[in-house]
């Protein structure tokens, strides 16, 4: 299953991959690298969200639940048991998968806005729980992780660039997984569920099962991002870990960039983070609310004008300009 | 002959409305049966009950030896029953081919295998030329063809068609009838809900007539169409003494 | 002990009245327009700021400012429906959810830019006055708020059941297609529904000012309560939203009193999850009753 592409397949993977690999070597500013890392991380979270939210159209606004579970699992294992965050990362993923089962069982019985509200509620409940429980999870103050200097085995590095490549690797994993699913029977089933659940059931798609399966994968990946984030900023607390903003951004980047497409989340993240960086340099950081105001305006504009996201606009523009072909509408799945 | 579908004492209420009341009928393997009746008679509800979209309040539905009540629609499809919807529901974001492949994946999870089966089904309904068109760009009639191809791709033993002829002109009706006959020749058991009398008389061996959720007649086409109850249900008491002509569309 | 319980119940009931105004608005919009308005809380916030500025600049009592905030927000509602909501009606769940969500984000952050995060409060002659019913302490401002909220809810109920426009709204809520066939103009009905819902939110804001501070994110707390009440009371059911809101207020209050001062929200969320798990269609059935 390929989206109709005007250029050969390898170019679409090769070019961005090459750029991404050499980018940190060309740029030395720590500030810039930090931005790149955030872009990679949020693109990765967006890719994870896109599996369930973009393809299967189950609009989760509670993915922060898994982000936080991943972050806390690895941190608890690290601080209380001295376990390396590399292992903690995987453990976090497992915890997230286990959590996704009851959460999914509860939420997938609901459709449309009910589902969204339920997911918001589950993330909030987790936040509230972690705020209360000081004993094993440090409560509202959170905790820093011990600074072990440069210890690659404990996922701590002096060189910022190392974090860049880890984030890049995570994004690459997410994209590869998405790509493989997209072009398999599972991808078709997901889109079918996203388009029309009843019709999908009529042709033998076990919609509950497939939603559950993709949700598990999505939760696992999101949890990995959570661990990375803690390791990167050396701090965790419930408000950050289960932040509604994380849930929102996870969905936002895909919706703006292109829901249900491979590169949509990446495009969306680049756009939103670039806007954010521009705003910061124009307005300075004193203007609380300016950034989100712009995000909100972009989102409204996209919804009113191109609800399927901007990736379609970009590929159409490319087709139109470069190949003088008439523009096509949103992502098309062909046999 | 073995029975493909046995419906016994099926009932379903929605609030105060008794959509289906104590319905019983059976369909033999390889037969084509038509389910007819005035609007609101309970025909589509019966389909929804049989295919698992609603749970009956009472009664049983057995197909190919297995009780269907309580199964979810996907399991019923896996058991061999496929259906089309009254208003076609294509996966708009996918091409015709992708749509049908999604159906084919039920029995073959490989891309090549599913593609092959999909081609077969698409050829059968005559949509080959439009294979790569997005489903949302098809005409209504082509969307119905797509719906049927998609259902056929699941390799059903029993096919339930919900008003596939609505709005077709006479030439198109003939085409559709020919399709149904070919399916029947392949041994497929078919239940159609229809209003187009011409088509019904051409394909149906048995007609079951519903009115207000209840079965009011069942039998061979000629018998049923002369049945006073049936005439009254469709046309009112004043017409009971005349026979219903074969070309009339109710 | 009984006294503490009774006090908690009264506290909860009073604030429940405010929750009711917000949740009735949400459920009205959902019932008629079939959209979940994630931004409802922000219109409460706007109502609060309107009242704040009228009080600060002109010394107008917040209760009087109801006569400004309600019509103003009605107009805003009509505009929102006409320019935003109408455009996404045909698009399906996701764009609709994200539109009202984006609107919410926009309003909060514009407020942040314009007014900063500072708390704004209004002092009225009755802000500190309380009535004593036996051992129970009833703040006058809250009592008035509750009374007006119930009056507004009652008026809405009468409107929905006795006027042609109200009946048209209920008809559109139950079956839009048939309603259109009967000659009901959906745009007009939707505009009124959204306008009324936002006016109620504005009223909630004005009623809150005597005893609650205004700040950009104030709406988020109320909209959360509202959503739970709406789900509990059955989406689309106005009476259900009212009753459920009162229940939510009491539950939250009991949670704060007996479990812990930070446990109000947890209790509420657990109620939501329980409802969704056991009876997702809510406690009461049907549309726009």
Per-residue pLDDT tens over the stretch C206-219: 999 999 999 998 99
Domain with B180, as residue range(s), is 3-80+158-248
Q: How many domains does chain B have?
A: 2
A173 pLDDT band, cuts 50/70/90, is very high
Over the stretch B44-55, which tens digit does the pLDDT of each residue have? 999 999 999 999
As beta bridge partners, residue B11 has: B58
Q: Is C102 on the interface with A (CB under 8 A)?
A: yes
Q: Is residue A163 part of a domain?
A: yes
ipTM of the complex: 0.90
Asked if A314 is an interface residue toward chain C (Cβ–Cβ < 8 A), one would say no
A333 within 8 A of A183, measured Cβ to Cβ: no
Of C110, C117, C235, the CB nearest to A293: C110
Regarding whether B107 and B125 lie in a shared domain, the answer is yes
User: Structural domain of residue A187, as residue ranges?
Assistant: 8-322
Long-range pairs for B231-237 at CB < 8 Å and ≥24 separation?
B233/B37, B233/B38, B233/B41, B233/B209, B234/B38
Q: Would you call B91 and A198 a contact, using CB atoms and an 8 Å cutoff?
A: no
CA dist A88 and A223 (Å) reads 10
Higher-confidence residue: C271 or A6? C271
Query: Per-residue pLDDT for chain C (289 aa), expressed as one digit of tens each?
Result: 788 888 999 999 999 999 999 999 999 998 888 888 999 999 999 999 999 999 999 988 989 999 999 999 999 999 999 999 988 887 777 788 889 989 998 999 999 989 988 999 988 888 888 888 888 889 988 999 999 999 999 999 999 989 888 888 888 877 777 777 777 888 888 999 999 999 999 999 999 999 999 999 899 888 888 888 888 888 788 889 999 999 989 988 988 888 777 777 778 888 887 887 777 777 776 544 4
User: Of chain A residues 171-190, which have a CB less than 8 A from chain C?
Assistant: none
Q: Can you tell me the mean pLDDT for A181-191?
A: 95
Whether residues B98 and B121 share a domain: the answer is yes
Q: Which residues of A246-284 are buried (b: 16+ CB within 10 A; e: fewer)?
A: bbbbbbbbbbbbbbbbbbbbbbbbbbbbeebbebeeeee
DSSP label of A53? I
| Contact residues, chain C, for A123 at CB < 8 Å | none
pTM: 0.87
Distance CA C159, CA C173 (A): 15
Q: What is the number of CB-based contacts under 8 A between chain A and chain B?
A: 101
Does A333 fall in a domain?
Answer: no
Is B66 found in the same domain as B141?
no
**Cα–Cα separations (whole angstroms), residue B13 to B23, B73, C123:** 13, 19, 58
Tell me if A329 is assigned to some domain: no
Q: How confident is the model at residue A333 (pLDDT cuts 50, 70, 90)?
A: confident
Residue B248 confidence class, pLDDT cut points 50, 70, 90: very low
The neighbouring-strand residues paired with A14 are none
B59 with B182, same domain: the answer is yes
Q: Is residue A214 part of a domain?
A: yes
Residue that is last in its domain, among B155, B178, B199: B155
CA-based nearest residue in chain A for residue B137: A329
Size of interface A-C (CB pairs under 8 A): 112
- Point out the residue among A109, A291, A297 whose CB comes nearest to the CB of C280: A109
Residue B14: CATH number of its domain: 3.40.50.300
- Sorted by sequence, the CB contacts under 8 Å of residue C179 that are 6+ apart come out as C168, C171, C172, C186, C189
Q: Do residues B52 and B92 both lie within one domain? A: no
Judge if B194 and B183 occupy the same domain: yes
Q: Which residue's structure tokens are 């190392």?
A: A162
Rounded CA separation B184/B204 (Å):
10
Q: How far is A16 from chain B (nearest CA, A)?
A: 26
Same domain, B61 and B177: yes
Q: Which residues partner with C132 through β-bridges?
A: C137
CA-to-CA dists, residue A165 to A151, A160, C127, angstroms? 16, 9, 59
> What is each CA distance from C4 to C11, C134, C136, C221, C251, in whole angstroms?
10, 12, 8, 25, 14
Same domain (yes/no): B162, B244: yes
pLDDT of C234: 84
Q: B42 and B113: one domain?
A: no
User: Domains plus CATH for chain C?
Assistant: 2-278 (1.10.3470)
E strand segments, chain A: 143-144, 235-236
- Smallest CA–CA separation between A251 and chain C, in Å? 9
**pLDDT mean over B5-13:** 93
Q: What is the pLDDT of residue A278?
A: 81
B151, B227: one domain: no
Burial class (CB in 10 A: 0-12, 13-18, 19+), A187: buried
Residue A124 is assigned to a structural domain of this protein? yes
Q: What pLDDT digit, counting tens, does each position of C64-100 carry?
A: 999 999 999 999 999 999 999 988 887 777 788 889 9
- Domain-located, residue A334: no
Set of chain C residues whose Cβ sits within 8 Å of the Cβ of A132? 262-263, 266
Question: What's the whole-number mean pLDDT along residues A166-185?
Answer: 95
Judging contacts by C-beta atoms under 8 Å, the chain A residues touching residue B100 are 335
Structure token digits, residue A13: 């993977």
pLDDT tens by residue, A310-332: 777 777 776 666 655 444 444 56
Does A332 map to a domain?
no
Q: What is the pLDDT of residue C289?
A: 45
Maximum distance among all alpha carbons in chain A?
64
Given B134, B155, B176, which residue is the final one in a domain?
A: B155
Nearest by Cα to A36 from A222, A164, A171: A164
Q: Which two tokens stand for residue C162?
A: 């006795």
**What pLDDT sits at residue A152?**
85
d(CA A262, nearest CA chain B) in Å: 15
User: Could you tell me if C172 and C54 are in contact, meaning their C-beta atoms sit under 8 angstroms apart?
Assistant: no
Rounded to a whole number, what is the distance in Å from the CA of A108 to chain B's nearest CA? 15
Numbers of helices and strands, H then E, in chain C: 12, 2
- Nearest-angstrom CA–CA distance, C244 and C235: 11
Residues of A at the B interface, defined by Cβ within 8 angstroms = 1, 183-185, 188-189, 191-192, 194-196, 198-208, 260, 329-335
From B107, B138, B155, the end of a domain falls on: B155
Distance separating alpha carbons of residues A227 and B16, to the nearest angstrom: 55
CB of C105 within 8 Å of any CB in chain A? yes
Residue A84, token pair as written in the block: 């390396």
Going by the DSSP 8-state scheme, the letter that residue B137 receives in this structure is G
Binned at pLDDT 50, 70 and 90, residue A2 comes out as very low
The percent of residues in chain A predicted with pLDDT above 90, rounded, is 49
| A244 contacts on C by Cβ (under 8 Å) | none
pLDDT of residue A319: 67
With contacts defined as CB-CB under 8 Å, which chain C residues touch A303?
A: 88, 91, 95, 98-99, 102
Are residue B163 and residue B243 in the same domain, yes or no?
yes
Cα(A303)–Cα(A308) distance, rounded to whole angstroms? 8
Mean pLDDT of the B204-215 span: 91
> Does A255 lie at the interface with C, CB-CB under 8 angstroms?
yes
The reply to whether residue B153 touches residue A332, judged by beta carbons under 8 angstroms, is no
Please say whether the beta carbons of C62 and C209 come within 8 A: yes
Overall domain count for chain A: 1
| Residue B106 in this model has a pLDDT that exceeds 70 | yes
Shared domain for B125 and B234, answered yes or no, is: no
* Residue A295 domain-assigned (yes or no): yes
């Amino acid at each position: 299953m390929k989206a109709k592409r005007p250029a050969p397949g390898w170019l679409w993977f090769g070019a961005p991959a090459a750029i991404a690999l050499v980018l940190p070597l060309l740029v030395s500013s720590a500030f810039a690298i930090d931005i790149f890392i955030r872009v990679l991380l949020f693109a990765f979270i967006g890719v994870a969200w896109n599996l369930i939210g973009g393809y299967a159209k189950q609009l989760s606004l509670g993915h922060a639940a898994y982000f936080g579970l991943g972050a806390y699992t690895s941190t608890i294992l690290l601080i209380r048991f001295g376990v390396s965050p590399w292992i903690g990362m995987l453990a976090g993923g497992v915890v997230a998968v286990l959590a996704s089962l009851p959460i999914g069982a509860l939420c997938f019985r609901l459709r449309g806005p009910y589902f969204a509200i339920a997911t918001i509620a589950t993330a909030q409940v987790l936040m509230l729980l972690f705020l209360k429980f000081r004993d094993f999870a440090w409560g509202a103050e959170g905790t820093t992780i011990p600074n072990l200097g440069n210890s690659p085995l404990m996922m701590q590095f002096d060189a910022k660039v190392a974090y860049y490549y880890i984030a890049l690797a995570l994004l690459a994993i997410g994209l590869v997984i998405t790509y493989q699913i997209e072009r398999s029977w599972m991808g078709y089933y997901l889109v079918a569920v996203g388009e029309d659940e009843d019709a999908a059931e009529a042709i033998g798609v076990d919609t509950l099962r497939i939603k559950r399966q993709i949700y598990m994968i999505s939760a696992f990946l999101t949890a990995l991002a959570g661990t990375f984030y803690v390791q990167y900023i050396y701090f965790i607390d419930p408000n950050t870990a289960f932040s509604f903003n994380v849930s929102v951004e996870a969905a936002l980047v895909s919706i703006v960039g292109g829901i249900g497409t491979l590169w949509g989340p990446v495009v969306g993240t680049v756009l939103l983070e670039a806007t954010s960086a521009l705003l910061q340099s124009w307005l300075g950081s004193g203007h609380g609310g300016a950034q989100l105001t712009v995000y909100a305006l972009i989102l409204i504009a996209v919804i009113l004008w191109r609800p399927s996201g901007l990736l379609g606009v970009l590929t159409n523009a490319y087709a139109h300009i470069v190949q003088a072909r008439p523009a096509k509408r949103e992502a098309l799945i062909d046999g | 002959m073995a029975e493909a579908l046995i419906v016994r004492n099926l009932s379903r209420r929605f609030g105060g409305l008794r959509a289906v009341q104590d319905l019983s009928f059976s369909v033999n393997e390889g037969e084509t049966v038509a389910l007819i009746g005035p609007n609101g008679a309970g025909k589509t509800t019966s389909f929804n009950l049989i295919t698992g979209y609603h749970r009956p309040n009472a009664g049983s539905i057995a197909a190919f030896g297995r009780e269907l009540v309580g199964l979810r629609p996907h399991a019923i499809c896996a058991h061999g029953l496929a259906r089309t919807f009254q208003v076609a529901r294509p996966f708009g974001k996918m091409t015709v081919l992708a749509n049908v492949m999604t159906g084919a994946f039920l029995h073959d999870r490989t891309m090549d295998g599913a593609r092959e089966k999909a081609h077969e089904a698409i050829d059968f309904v005559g949509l080959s030329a439009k294979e790569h068109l997005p489903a949302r760009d098809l005409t209504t009639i082509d969307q119905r063809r797509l719906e049927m191809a998609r259902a056929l791709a699941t390799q059903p033993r029993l096919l339930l068609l919900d008003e596939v002829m609505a709005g077709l002109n006479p030439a198109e009706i003939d085409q559709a009838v020919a399709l149904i006959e070919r399916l029947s020749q392949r041994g497929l058991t078919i239940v159609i809900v229809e209003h187009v009398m011409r088509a019904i008389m051409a394909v149906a061996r048995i007609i079951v007539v519903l009115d207000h959720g209840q079965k009011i007649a069942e039998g061979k086409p000629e018998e049923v169409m002369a049945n006073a109850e049936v005439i009254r249900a469709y046309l009112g008491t004043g017409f009971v003494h005349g026979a219903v002509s074969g070309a009339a569309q109710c | 002990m009984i006294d503490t319980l009774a006090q908690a119940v009264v506290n909860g009931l009073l604030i429940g009245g405010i929750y009711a105004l917000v949740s009735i608005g949400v459920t009205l919009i959902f019932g008629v327009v079939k959209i979940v308005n994630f931004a409802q809380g922000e219109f409460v916030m706007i109502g609060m700021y309107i009242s704040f500025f009228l009080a600060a600049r002109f010394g107008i009592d917040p209760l009087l400012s109801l006569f400004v905030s309600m019509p103003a927000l009605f107009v805003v509602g009509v505009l929102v429906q006409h320019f935003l909501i109408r455009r996404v009606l045909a698009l399906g769940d996701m764009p609709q959810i994200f539109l009202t969500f984006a609107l919410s984000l926009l309003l909060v952050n514009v407020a942040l830019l314009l007014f900063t995060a500072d708390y704004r409060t209004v002092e009225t002659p009755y802000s500190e006055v309380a009535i004593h019913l036996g051992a129970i302490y009833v703040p006058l401002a809250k009592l008035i708020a509750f009374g007006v909220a119930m009056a507004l809810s009652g008026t809405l109920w009468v409107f929905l059941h006795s006027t042609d426009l109200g009946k048209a709204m209920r008809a559109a809520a139950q079956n839009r297609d048939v309603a259109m066939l009967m000659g009901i103009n959906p745009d007009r009905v939707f505009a009124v529904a959204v306008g009324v819902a936002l006016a109620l939110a504005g009223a909630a804001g004005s009623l809150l000012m005597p005893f609650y501070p205004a700040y950009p994110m104030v709406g988020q707390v109320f909209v959360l309560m509202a959503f739970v009440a709406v789900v509990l009371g059955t989406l689309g059911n106005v009476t259900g939203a009212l009753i459920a809101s009162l229940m939510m207020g009491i539950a939250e209050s009991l949670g704060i009193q007996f479990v812990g001062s930070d446990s109000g929200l947890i209790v509420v969320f657990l109620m939501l999850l329980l409802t969704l798990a056991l009876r997702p269609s809510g406690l009461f059935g049907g549309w726009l009753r």
